[in-house]
Amino acid sequence: MNHFELIDGEMHVENVPISAIAQAVGTPVYAYSAARLRENARAFRDGVAPLGRVHLAFAIKANPNLAVVRLLANEGFGADVVSGGELARAMAAGVAAKDIVFSGVGKSRAELIQGLEAGIGQFNLELEEEGVVLAALAAERGLRAPAALRVNPDVDAGTHAKISTGKAENKFGLPIDEAPAIFDRLGGLEGLNLRGVAVHIGSQLLGLAPLEAAFERVGRLVADLRAAGHTITHVDLGGGLGVAYRPGETPPTPAAFGEMVARVTKGWDVELMFEPGRVIAGDAGVLVTEVLWVKPGVTHPWVIVDAAMNDLARVALYDAYHGFAAVKPSGKTMVANVAGPVCESSDVFVKGREIDAVKGGDLAVLQTAGAYGATMASTYNSRPLVPEVLVSGDRFEVVAKRIAAEHIMAEEHVPDWLK
């Protein structure tokens, strides 16, 4: 049961027919399954449970909707945040400050202060200077900031180049070989409790080997740091587990991930921290869209839908694959392209694929769109910001309203000297 099943010929989210959501809210609209989010959260929690002392922080960049973050907080997840806005969201959703980890390659001084004043659980530092600044800001306030150094282990995650973060040439983390000297210099600062190491090598990983290689390097670093007299109590192993976007894709299960981590981290004697995003939210959402037209094409017909790259950017950004399925499939199929109305040639969701046959007025879904979907939406082409609905059993609720182009326009202004 994946909670996006056909019941009496119509796709439902849990027990709610998708046409009921479309009728009430309009299209395009994201629809999330609360049950699926919970199942994914519990599978991850169970997968890492044998590791003992663990801290779970949902990477809220994957899906920062307040209701989603709250649901996951109820399941024992803190939050991994990468901006002051995400920090404010996590707190507004009810995540305890101590359960918030602040990652991100470019935190401003204002954001560091926001984190300090909120009393968050950990700052993951990306460079030495950030540690110096954070220590000073904390000391001025009579605080000691809990922190870890994010290292770049120079491991190829084997995923799309635009979601790889652990190769030496990526902007993330500091070179793992330089970490001991940086630890020596930052370790003694009054405002800093430099207590650990963090790593995150990329997203949508379909194999465990790159993660294992990265964690082994981190293990050697932890041993070296301890040998040099540093106290290491926390290691943050990041996120990255993939989900099945294509038929037949078999990403590692959280249980297999947990077994690998148990083997590699045996004897580390630290609190292990995790920042999963996609594996929690990815398959818990779909983007519901209406077919506007079926337009003849040179090689294949163009199915023009009312969702576009501004609502779901992943295909344009990463050539990502999303399944396309009719809400009321007739059983017939067609080979077609599927595209949105935005004026960019990259606004194409599907190219020359066999899909459910559809015609103008039909509802369809782009599948596995619960992570890095609505969160990346924009108002490009002055389109409204896409709404989100959370389904639980036979009820659903709008958890983010559609923001009309007029609202955005109301924040703009023509100077008098142009009138």
Min separation Cβ 241 and ligand PLP, Å: 6
Residues that bind ligand PLP (rule: CB under 6 A) add up to a total of 16
User: Is 373 near ligand PLP (CB under 6 A)?
Assistant: no
Residues of this chain, 341-370, that bind ligand PLP according to CB under 6 A: none
**DSSP classification of residue 85:** H
Rounded Cα distance between 284 and 298, Å, is 36
Residues of this chain, 293-312, that bind ligand PLP according to CB under 6 A: none
Of these, 78, 191, 210, 276, which contacts ligand PLP (CB under 6 A)?
276
Min separation Cβ 59 and ligand PLP, Å: 3
Rounded Cα distance between 312 and 256, Å, is 30
Min separation Cβ 188 and ligand PLP, Å: 27
Part of the chain binding ligand PLP (CB under 6 A), chosen from 233-241, 262-270, 300-308, 378-386: 233-241
Among candidate residues 63, 60, 61, 104, the one with its CA nearest the CA of residue 79: 60
Binding mask 147-186 for ligand PLP (x = CB under 6 A): ------------------x---------------------
Residues of this chain, 70-99, that bind ligand PLP according to CB under 6 A: 80
Residues of this chain, 42-61, that bind ligand PLP according to CB under 6 A: 59
User: Is 314 near ligand PLP (CB under 6 A)?
Assistant: no
Of these, 3, 12, 230, 278, which contacts ligand PLP (CB under 6 A)?
278
Longest dimension (CA), the chain: 71
Of these, 28, 47, 251, 277, which contacts ligand PLP (CB under 6 A)?
277
Alpha helices in 206-305 (DSSP H): 209-227, 254-264, 278-281
**DSSP classification of residue 374:** G
Of these, 195, 200, 234, 383, which contacts ligand PLP (CB under 6 A)?
200
Give the H/E segment covering residue 55.
Answer: strand 54-59
User: Is 252 near ligand PLP (CB under 6 A)?
Assistant: no
Min separation Cβ 243 and ligand PLP, Å: 9
Of these, 131, 238, 329, 373, which contacts ligand PLP (CB under 6 A)?
238
Select 363 or 371, whichever has its Cβ closest to ligand PLP.
Answer: 371
Select 277 or 329, whichever has its Cβ closest to ligand PLP.
Answer: 277
Determine which one of 298, 343, 410, 418 is catalytic: 343
Part of the chain binding ligand PLP (CB under 6 A), chosen from 63-71, 108-116, 135-143, 273-281: 273-281
Is position 343 annotated as part of the catalytic site? yes
Q: Determine contact, residues 287/365, Cβ cutoff 8 Å.
A: yes
Select 272 or 358, whichever has its Cβ closest to ligand PLP.
Answer: 272
CA-to-CA separations, 347 to 259, 356, 416, in angstroms, rounded: 40, 20, 37
Dump strand ranges (E) for 310-374: 324-326, 333-339, 348-356, 363-366
| Half-sphere exposure (Cβ direction) of 53: Cα atoms closer than 13 Å | 12
Q: Determine contact, residues 371/278, Cβ cutoff 8 Å.
A: yes
Sequence-distant contacts of 393-401: CB under 8 A, at least 24 apart = 393/14, 393/15, 393/35, 394/14, 394/15, 394/16, 395/16, 396/13, 396/16, 396/20, 396/21, 396/24, 396/31, 397/67, 398/25, 399/32, 399/65, 399/66, 399/67, 399/68, 400/30, 400/65, 400/374
User: Is 340 near ligand PLP (CB under 6 A)?
Assistant: no
**DSSP classification of residue 253:** P
- Amino acid letter for position 161: A
Select 80 or 154, whichever has its Cβ closest to ligand PLP.
Answer: 80
Part of the chain binding ligand PLP (CB under 6 A), chosen from 88-96, 110-118, 221-229, 270-278: 270-278
Rounded Cα distance between 51 and 182, Å, is 29
Rounded Cα distance between 107 and 121, Å, is 16
Residues of this chain, 102-131, that bind ligand PLP according to CB under 6 A: 103
Part of the chain binding ligand PLP (CB under 6 A), chosen from 135-143, 269-277, 302-310, 347-355: 269-277
Min separation Cβ 262 and ligand PLP, Å: 19
Tokens representing 43 are: 């599978």
Min separation Cβ 205 and ligand PLP, Å: 7
Q: At how many degrees (to 10) do helices 84-92 and 66-74 cross?
A: 60
Rounded Cα distance between 148 and 47, Å, is 24
Residues at the site binding ligand PLP, with contacts judged by CB under 6 A: 59, 62, 80, 103, 165, 200, 203, 238-241, 275-279
The catalytic site residues sit at: 343
